[in-house]
Copies of this chain bind each other. A is one copy, B any other.
Amino acid sequence: MNLPNFKKYLIEKGGLSEEEYYQVNSLIQTKKVQQNEFLLKEGSICSHFFFVEHGVLRFYALNDQGKENILQFATENWILSDRGSIFYKEPSNYNIDAIEDTLTVMLDEHFINAVAKVNPNFRKQNEILLQNHIRHLYRRISLLLGASAKVRYLDFVKTYPDIMLRVPQWMIASYLGVTPESLSRVRKALTNEDFKS
């Protein structure tokens, strides 16, 4: 199995050497999903973290009216999961499915412990990634609390130009917390501004 992104992740972000990587290599499990296929469905218990080797995933909740709220997209090198469901063995309230055909690496506690054993530094590196993730979530909350749809959209374009090109617009609207119609109007207003300047 050829997993250049995952290998790079373990070596560069995880701090493993090439030899250490090959030591845990045999433990790696992968999973392929096609577009619209699910990796996690509401009500079931999430068993793994999913590292995206290539493709795009989405992580979303259904609210009381059955509307989707997209919490996160994940492209190459992102890790996605319902952490609460994993750690507390509870049924998940979330769904994960594929926006493109996607190849993922399935990480469980067993694998993480194995890597940490090979290189104890890994846990520390991993912690920094978690801290960074928390930081991004606070930034997102800050925008949701205080910024207009226009500002949130501009921030998204700047932060994730790659995702812009790979997911349909109505999903971006959902991620931003607005309707597809509203997002369409925001975009129209922006192109009009461009003409004026």
Contacts and interface: CB of A to CB of B under 8 A. Distances in A.
Interface of A: 61, 63, 67, 69-72, 82-84, 86-87, 94, 123-124, 126-128, 130-135, 137-138, 140-142, 144-147, 174, 177
Given A141-B141, A144-B145, A146-B69, A132 B63 contact: no
Contacts of A71: 138, 141-142, 145
Contact of A132 (B83, B131, B140, B142): B83
B177 A145 contact: yes
Q: Is the interface of A mostly helix, strand, loop or mixed?
A: helix
Contacts of A174: 145
A87 B126 CA distance: 13
B87 A142 contact: no
Nearest to A140: B141
Contacts of A177: 144-146
A142 B83 contact: no
Contacts of A134: 83, 130, 133-134, 137
B63 A146 contact: yes
A146 B87 contact: no
B61 A132 contact: no
A60 to B, nearest CB: 9
Contacts of A127: 123, 126-127, 130
Contacts of A70: 145
A147 B82 CA distance: 20
A144 B146 contact: no
